[in-house]
Chains A and B, each alone.
Chain A
Amino acid sequence: MATLDSKIPSGPLADKWRKHKTEIKLVNPANKRKYEVIVVGAGLAGASAAATLADLGYKVKCFVFHDSPRRAHSIAAQGGINAAKNYQNDGDSVHRLFYDTLKGGDYRAREANVHRLAEVSVNIIDQCVAQGVPFAREYGGLLANRSFGGAQVSRTFYARGQTGQQLLLGAYSALSRMVGAGAVDLHTNSEMLDLVVVDGQAKGVIIRDLVTGEITRHSADAVILATGGYGNVFNHSTSARGSNTTAIWRAYKRGACMANPCYTQIHPTCIPVSGDYQSKLTLMSESLRNDGRIWAPRKTGDNRAPAEIPEGDRDYYLERLYPSFGNLAPRDIASRAAKRVCDEGRGVGPTGLGVYLDFADAIHRLGEPAVRERYGNLFDIYHEITAESAYKSPMRIYPAVHYTMGGLWVDYNLMSNVPGLFVLGEANFSDHGANRLGASALMQGLADGYFVIPYTVGDYLAGQKPGSRPSVDAPEFKQAEVNVRGMTTRFISNKGQQPVSYFHKKLGKIMWEHCGMARTKAGLEAALQKIPALRDEFNASVNVPGSGDTLNQSLEQAGRVADFIELGELMCRDALTREESCGGHFREEYQHPDGECKRDDEKFGHVAAWEFQGEGKAPVRNTEPLNYEFTKMSVRNYK
């Protein structure tokens, strides 16, 4: 059984990080260049980590499957990034951001991690501005803020509706500077397909060059995975098509524990599905809820056009149910409320799976130009996809899979249970508990990369002898390479009848139906029958044309979907064993009379970290108790 020591420093909550930084080991400047660190991924988390570690003097090798680091999925984040700057003088503080995040996560995150996140949030904004990130400003030249869900202060910094793009381009420019200086060895079009563990420590990776098909071994003193979230296990999600779980899944199979895989976030405001051919779902940023009002017809089956439905026949259900947070209720709550309305037959649009997000009041109050300035690009996206103008009639929106709070288990130092393997950003499980608040993923990615890992990786490396990393001729490297080659050969030689997408769609349907917004024992048990059957079908009849020696997108997809199928099974297993509702994990059996989540802190006030036991064997469920020293786990109340 894996040992899960969270390594949370002792002492008062607000002093832990400062104290830890002064106590952990350092690597002296002359020795830094003797250590080589592999960073897989260059989204916000990976790019900021690679750039910062290289700037400190470590030798860094960075791998991304994209053709450029600037294409990482972080680029798509729209709404903003939180920070406890209190520039609005509206009562914000590090403590309040800490508390909102912990509560938003339904008391399933570690106190110490979340507090550190809130502390460094202020440094992130400073860092980004220094790099030239063009955040929105007021006429006086100071930074502007907006509000996001689950908060009663305005602490979200933004760059139009393209905050992720601007933050990523900031981190990408820092990384580019280091590549230009020869301090980072960057490999694009390079997919990590296995982790190499030598003597119980992570010491390298196996990479496939996606253009030439070449498979290579790389050794290092430490390995950092910053490979993003696994929302595409549902096939339809707001993630980019290429986002996948492969890096963390293969690390799981090498011994790293997977924590809380069932915690997934369903975002309330996305453009509804229009047909079977649909490849992805598009988010309409949460920031729209600052000015948009969500409603559905009061009566079931009301087919009138929205403009013809008088005020009295409309139900602004979030404002009605959660008067103090209104349209800015947290995501899990807003999503379930939309589902309930549609389940009651009050949904709108061709499929009945939709509710309105209406800007008529805002346009009346502020004028169309002001609304255009705030949200113009989102309205444009909506128009491109639906051919409808949200200036004229309300948007139709429906919840969609958006973020995965689960991920590889890490301790306070962001190191997994496999020593030397660090996990950053959405790929780890660390800071958001069972539900992430809006604008806090960008914050976490950059906190991990710019401000946490530069300290904690040094603490680990200081214990490794310089120059002691294994040679790539070690048997563990050979074995891992054989494993990867075997997979490629199997896919190519299978010659089945169905394209990879057929299985991905099928998996997505199973996951959405049984492990989506509402879960039940019976449904999850059914999924645990269906998924292994799907895996058998996939193995027997997937068709991957072409060869492994060239660019082959079907081959890339086959590997990713194979991993999604296995992960999907683990998610259902995790959801089945967690017999409570919390945040994004809603088990219908465990709810309060008003339909809110009913947690069971006694039995489930812990992290579940699954440990691989070998193919065909049931994984072991380890637990890390969540000891709340400073906050009381209470029932979330947004009324």
Chain B
Amino acid sequence: MVAVNTQQPFSVTLRVWRQAGPAQPGKFVEYAAKDLSPNMSFLEMLDVVNDELTVKGEEPIAFAHDCREGICGTCSCTINGKPHGPGKGIATCQTYMRSFKDGDTIFVEPFRARAFPVVKDLITDRTAFDTITQAGGFITARAGSAPDANALPIPKGDADLAMDAAQCIGCGACVAACKNASAMLFVSAKVGHLGLLPQGQAERDRRVLAMVNTMDTLGFGSCTNQYECSAACPKLISHDFIARMNRDYLKATFRDAFKPAPAGGGGGA
């Protein structure tokens, strides 16, 4: 539990990572954030600092954000060494200044991982997640060809578990939290979500093989079962999905190695 500050107004010192571009060196720069309200969000505090910088003619701090309610997965700051900051089960944008005290020094950095190069200041490039999804994170279902939605009852427990995994917001905190920068939690959440549903069975083997193999080529590290990923996940997605995926992957590899050769197809008359 984070201590709750109700004192207002109060001030903090920021040490923010500034980096002009992917190829330039970066460094921490100090800024004072004054007259803060505990009811401000962390990003609103950065807005205020940025407006002050702008008025002084300096370039504001670039940071990623959009929905500001913890669902789009855009925001991605490491605050005092923790991806998304001190709270549990929340994203950067859901961090409120009431979790900090007057006089605190706060370190703000981008998510660090080899597969997520810095674009500018606090913004990183997380395209690798899209690439993994494009390799197999889907169920093939052409519009217009679907059977009635209730034709296939799904036990509530399976649907709920699938939803637990499907909640992933694709922010990358799991990667940033992992000392090996592994993407296993992200990949296993998608593999788990689709693999738990009857609709997902036809492509189950292909999906896990394609997603894991793509992940491996993109510079993510391997999983050594430390589970920092689940602890940093704003949706608290369970690392059980990693174990589940490892089983799926093994089975799929086995089946792939021993699958019978295709009987040969005909083009039809």
Contact = CB atoms under 8 A, between A and B. Distances in A.
A455 B249 CA distance: 40
Which size class do A's interface residues fall under?
A: 35 or more
Contact of B143 (A278, A454, A553): A454
A546 interface: yes
Interface in A550-593: 550-551, 553-554
A87 to B, nearest CB: 6
A176 B74 contact: no
Given A76-B67, A129-B152, A553 B72 contact: no
Interface in A513-541: none
Interface string A96-128: 000000000000000000000000000101111
A380 B236 CA distance: 13
Interface in A490-510: 495, 497-499, 501-502
Given A141-B154, A543-B55, A241 B66 contact: yes
Contacts of B152: 129
Contacts of B21: 550
B120 interface: yes
Contacts of B53: 545
B133 interface: yes
Contact of A76 (B57, B72, B139): B72
Contacts of B197: 132, 134
A302 B268 CA distance: 80
A506 to B, nearest CB: 13
Interface string B144-185: 111111101111100110110011011000000000000000
Given A68-B130, A73-B67, A76-B67, A546 B59 contact: yes
Contact of B72 (A71, A179, A554): A71
A387 B147 CA distance: 45
Contact of B57 (A48, A130, A387, A543): A543
Contacts of A136: 159, 163
B150 A68 contact: no
Nearest to A52: B143
Contacts, number: 220
Interface stretch (A157-165, A219-227, A334-342, A417-425): A157-165
Interface string B118-140: 01100101110110011111111
A143 interface: yes
Nearest to A373: B160
A333 B70 CA distance: 29
A279 B44 contact: yes
Interface in A233-264: 240-242
Interface in B54-83: 54-55, 57-60, 62, 64-74
A636 interface: no
Interface string A124-154: 0111111110111111111100000000000
A188 interface: yes
A67 interface: yes
B153 A141 contact: yes
Contacts of A546: 59
Nearest to A547: B59
Given A67-B125, A129-B146, A141-B155, A275 B135 contact: no
A278 B47 CA distance: 10
A70 B43 CA distance: 21
Given A70-B170, A543-B57, A551-B120, A123 B146 contact: yes
Interface string A365-381: 00000000000000011
Interface stretch (B34-42, B102-110, B222-230, B250-258): B34-42
B68 A499 contact: no
A66 interface: yes
B50 interface: yes
Contacts of B139: 130-132, 173
Nearest to A166: B166
A75 B166 CA distance: 13
A289 interface: no
Given A68-B126, A176-B130, A498-B55, A140 B153 contact: yes
Interface string B79-94: 0000000010110001
B130 A126 contact: no
Most buried by B among A128, A172, A180: A180
Given A127-B143, A130-B199, A142 B150 contact: yes
Contacts of A278: 44
Contact of B159 (A137, A174, A282, A550): A137
B60 A132 contact: no
Given A52-B143, A66-B74, A68-B126, A143 B149 contact: yes
B234 to A, nearest CB: 11
Nearest to B163: A134
Interface string A176-193: 110110000000100000
B263 interface: no
B74 A282 contact: no
Contacts of B125: 67
A169 interface: yes
Contacts of A543: 54-55, 57
A384 interface: yes
B4 interface: yes
B20 interface: yes
A176 B68 contact: no
A132 B199 contact: yes
A73 B66 contact: yes
A460 interface: no
Contacts of A30: none
Contact of B66 (A66, A123, A169): A66
Contacts of B40: 275, 277
B32 interface: no
A590 B118 CA distance: 56
A384 B57 contact: no
Ranked nearest first, the 7 interchain pairs of A and B with the lowest CB-CB distance are A141-B153, A180-B134, A173-B138, A130-B146, A130-B141, A126-B146, A499-B54
20 contacts: A66-B66, A67-B127, A68-B130, A71-B72, A73-B67, A130-B147, A130-B199, A138-B156, A141-B155, A141-B159, A142-B150, A169-B166, A172-B133, A174-B138, A176-B133, A277-B47, A277-B48, A380-B89, A384-B96, A551-B120
Interface of A: 48, 51-52, 55, 66-71, 73, 75-76, 85, 87, 123, 125-132, 134-143, 159-160, 162, 165-166, 169, 172-174, 176-177, 179-180, 188, 211, 240-242, 274-275, 277-280, 282, 380-381, 384-387, 450-451, 454, 495, 497-499, 501-502, 543, 545-546, 550-551, 553-554
Given A134-B160, A279-B41, 16 more contacts: A127-B146, A129-B149, A132-B139, A134-B193, A143-B150, A172-B133, A176-B137, A179-B130, A180-B134, A180-B136, A240-B66, A277-B44, A280-B69, A499-B54, A550-B21, A550-B120
